[in-house]
């Protein structure tokens, strides 16, 4: 919020800890926000589904809690891209993990971007290592109508690790003809590396 330059309708926080003390702290700190406090641990994708049920606008900004904004002015160009490209399912605010991008630089007015390369094999392991099409739960601008075409995420079949679960969701969007766009500047950075609670990748 320190760097935000775009007016928000709501601020939705989803917490999956099922810890009443944590929930009480969230109520104190984030007064006025919509709080989705799971009474039991249901995992990442079901938590996202729970949160998205409260989205009341066509476009929304999704952030996992270990991504930080380092400068403002990224919502506006991302929105410009999505308003001109109904086939763009999400717009990234950095090239996460150096994912391959198409060589061609595209533009809408003075907003420049690239598309995440399709059919990228991440080589995560030998389990279901199908092509990665760009879907992520890290942070991006998204449309609620696109989400509803494949929702709920928690019901999409998958096999392997939590990262393969993202891959399975991305495949659903790919089947519908969606692509992922990436702004050419880095607006966010990750503070979670080395601190993840996912030890094996086989958690929910």
Backbone angles phi, psi at 185, to 5 degrees: -105, 155
The 10s digit of each residue's pLDDT in 89-110 is: 999 999 987 888 999 999 999 9
The two tokens of residue 57 are: 């606008």
Spatial separation of the C-alpha atoms in residues 67 and 188, rounded to whole Å: 7
Q: Tokens for 9?
A: 């309708």
What pLDDT score was predicted for residue 164?
81
User: Is 178 buried (19+), middle (13-18) or exposed (0-12) by CB count in 10 A?
Assistant: buried
> How many Å apart are CA 60 and CA 114, to the nearest integer?
21
Cis check: omega of the bond before 152, within 30 degrees of 0: yes
In the three-class reduction of DSSP (H, G, I as helix; E, B as strand; rest coil), residue 35 is classed as strand
- For residue 73 the two structure tokens come to 């002015």
pTM of structure: 0.89
41-92 pLDDT per residue, tens = 999 999 999 999 999 999 999 999 889 999 989 999 999 999 999 999 999 9
| Least confident piece of the model among 74-78, 166-170, 182-186 | 166-170
Going from N- to C-terminal start, the domains of the chain cover: 61-190
């Amino acid at each position: 919020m320190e760097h935000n330059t775009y007016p928000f309708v709501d601020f939705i926080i989803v917490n999956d800890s099922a810890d009443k003390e944590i929930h009480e702290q969230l109520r104190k700190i984030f007064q006025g926000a919509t709080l989705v406090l799971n009474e039991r641990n249901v995992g990442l994708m079901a938590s996202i589904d729970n949160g998205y049920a409260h989205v009341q606008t066509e476009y929304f900004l999704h952030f996992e809690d270990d991504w930080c904004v380092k400068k403002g002015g990224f919502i506006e160009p991302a929105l410009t891209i999505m308003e001109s490209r109904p086939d763009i399912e999400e717009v990234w605010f950095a090239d996460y993990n150096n994912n391959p991008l198409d060589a061609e630089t595209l533009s809408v007015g003075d907003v420049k971007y690239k598309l995440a390369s399709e059919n990228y094999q991440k080589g995560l392991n030998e389990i279901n290592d199908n092509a990665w099409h760009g879907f992520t739960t890290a942070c991006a601008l998204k449309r609620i109508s696109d989400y509803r075409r494949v929702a709920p995420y928690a019901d999409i079949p998958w096999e392997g690790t939590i990262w393969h679960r993202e891959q399975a969701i991305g495949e659903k969007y790919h089947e519908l003809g969606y692509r992922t766009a990436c702004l050419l500047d880095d607006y966010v950075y990750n503070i979670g590396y080395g601190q993840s609670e996912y030890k094996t990748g086989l958690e929910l």
